[in-house]
Amino acid sequence: MRKDSRSLLLTASDSMLFFIPYLERHKIDWKSIAKSVDLPTKYSNNEKWIPVKNYSLFIEAITPLCAPDMPIIVGKEAAKSLLQDRRRFFRPNDTFQQALTALITHSHTLTRQNTYWLQKLNEQWCLCNRGNLAPSYPGYAAVEWFRVSLLINLCRHWLGNEWSPSKVNMMTALHQGYLHEGYLFTDTAVAYNQPHLTIELPPLQSFEALASRSLHARDIQEIRLLTETYCHLPSFTIDWLASLFGVTRKTLYRYLKDNHTTFKEIKKQAILSKAEQLLAESNESISDIAFRMGYSDVSNFNRAIKRLSNKTPAQIRKER
C-alpha cells in the first residue's frame, strides 16, 4: 500500500512558529483554522515535521484575515529568528558568502519539499529556490512571498537594510503577487510565472558555491546524491554541475569518465530513481509528480520516463 503523498512533502514545524506571533498579536483565532486543516495547535522548539499541503491550506485560510503585508512582516521576523537560532545556522563572524553557503547547507533542516541552490546567470550569482507544490496550490503565493521576505531580510543582515535585488523571478502569477510586491521592493524588477524563484545577488568576488573541497577529493557517490537532489531543475546541465565545484565542463567530464560513468548516465539514473520512488511511495497524481520532477507538461514526463525505462509512469506505478 502506498503512503499518503503528504508524507513525502514536509516542512518543519518552525514554519508555523514563524506565523503564530503575528496571528496572536492580531487576535486571529489560528487554532480553529489549524484544526480545520488537520494541523496541531501546540508547537515547541523541538524539531517536528508537518505536511506542507496542510500548512499551505492553513496559510490560504488565514491570509484574508490579515493585512496584505502579512507575509512580508512574518518573513522579516523569521529572518531575525534564524539569525538568533539556537542551532547556529549562521556564525557571528560569517561573511556574506559564508552565510549563503550555510543557508544552502542547512536548508534541509527547515523543509523537505524545497530545493535551494546558488546559480550564476548572465555572470551574476543568484539565490534560487523551487518547491514541490505547484504555484496554483492554495496558499502558495503567500508562502512564496514569506519565503522571499525571509531570504531578502537574511541578505540585508550582511548587505544593509536598504539593499534590494535588481531582479527577482517568482513562480506565482502576477495577480497573486502584486498585493505583496510593494511592501518589500521599490526598484526591483519582478517577473512572474517563472520556473523557479530567483533573487539576483550583488557581485560576489571569487565565489564558488561548493568549491571548498576539490572535485577529485569527492567520492562519486556524492556526485550521484547531488544529481538526485537537483536533477529536476530546468537548469541542471553538466556545465551547471561543474560550476558548483568551480571546475570546467571538461574537468568534470574527465572525472566522471575516470569513475566509469557519464553525466548523461547519472542524470538518467537520478531522474528514473526519483520518479520511481514518487510513483511507488505516494498517492500523488502523475501530473503532480511530473511537476515535482520539473515537467510542466505531464505528456512530456510520460514520454521521458518511457524513454528511460520502456514503461510509462502508470505502468511503473501499477507494478509497485
Q: How many degrees, rounded to 5, is the angle at CA 206 between CA 203 and CA 212?
A: 125
Q: Is the pLDDT of residue 8 over 60?
A: no
Termini Cα distance of the chain: 9
Q: How many degrees, rounded to 5, is the angle at CA 141 between CA 104 and CA 232?
A: 45
pLDDT digits 0-9 by tens, 65-99: 999 999 999 999 999 998 987 667 788 888 898 88
Give me the domains of the chain, ranges plus CATH numbers: 5-200 (3.90.1520.10), 215-319 (1.10.10.60)
Gyration radius of the chain over CA positions: 20
Residue pair 245/213 in contact (Cβ under 8 Å)? The answer is no
pLDDT digits 0-9 by tens, 190-233: 999 998 899 999 988 766 655 445 666 667 877 887 787 778 77
* pLDDT for residue 208: 60
Question: How far apart are alpha carbons 37 and 55 in whole angstroms?
Answer: 8
Which pTM was predicted? 0.74
